Amino acid sequence: MSLFHRIARSDHAPVRFLLDGVPCEGREGDTLLTAILTHVDKVRVSDFSGAPRAGFCQIGVCQDCWVTLADGERVRACTTPLTAGMSVVTGAAA
């Protein structure tokens, strides 16, 4: 179940991306964090305990929302705009 609930921008254009291999839709203007958390409730697992994480500060300070893309690149979800065709893996330590 999603963590985030949209209350604005419902008319923005859909942006398609892959979340753990599953086709999903975000919206134009989403950060990657928003796109992920409007579908599921975590972006990664902790390197140490394996506990789920979903970010914390949302302004690029805490570094808690780094996610792994399917091509191996790692990005900070809260400061990365969603772009069409992104493929995100949330089960990985990132």
1-60 binders of another protein (CB under 8 A) = 3-9, 11-12, 28-31, 34, 37-38, 41-42, 46, 48-49, 51-60
Q: Judge whether 24 and 63 are in contact, CB under 8 Å.
A: no
Least Cβ distance, residue 68 to another protein (angstroms) = 13
List, in order, residues 6 or more apart from 82 with CB less than 8 Å away: 15, 17, 26, 27, 30, 31, 32, 34, 35
Residues that bind another protein (CB under 8 A): 3-9, 11-12, 28-31, 34, 37-38, 41-42, 46, 48-49, 51-64, 66, 76, 78-79, 81
